[in-house]
């Protein structure tokens, strides 16, 4: 797993690519979430367009991020979940995460 992040106005966009299976990258990801929250950036958008695969550790990573953002008074949304939609549906997490079909739709949901 790799990720890039950027600010788009008041929205922190974290784009993840590859396979989400845990490891050091997961720790870095959580650190980045907390960094944005500490800086007062509470609108977090996670773009999953380039994610190839995700295991239970990856699901845990997303759940942990959602919990941290909600506890910090923010809002987390997912974009481009097509490749992981089945695992979100099977685990019924599809109802827990606010998600959009495109990055633009997800960004638009913040206005």
Which tens digits make up the pLDDT trace of 12-44?
999 999 999 888 889 999 999 999 999 999 999
Please state, as a whole number, how many other Cβ atoms lie within 10 Å of the Cβ of residue 109: 16
Q: Do the beta carbons of residue 72 and residue 99 sit within 8 Å?
A: no
Q: Tell me the domains of the chain and their CATH numbers.
A: 2-108 (3.30.750.24)
pLDDT above 90 (res 111)? no
Give per-residue pLDDT as tens, 54-88.
999 999 999 999 999 999 999 999 999 999 999 99
Q: What pLDDT is stored for residue 16 in this prediction?
A: 97
Residue 15 pLDDT: 98
Q: Which of 33, 28, 13 is nearest to 79 (CA)?
A: 13
């Amino acid at each position: 797993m790799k990720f890039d992040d950027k600010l788009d106005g008041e929205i922190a966009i974290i784009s993840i690519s590859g396979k989400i299976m845990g490891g050091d990258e997961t720790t870095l990801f959580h650190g980045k979430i907390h960094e944005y929250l500490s800086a007062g950036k509470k609108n977090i958008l996670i773009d999953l367009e380039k994610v190839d695969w995700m295991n239970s550790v990856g699901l845990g990573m997303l759940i942990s991020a959602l919990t941290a953002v909600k506890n910090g008074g923010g809002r987390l949304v997912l974009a481009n979940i097509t490749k992981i939609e089945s695992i979100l549906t099977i685990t019924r997490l599809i109802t827990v995460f606010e998600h959009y079909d495109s990055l633009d739709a997800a960004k638009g949901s913040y206005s």
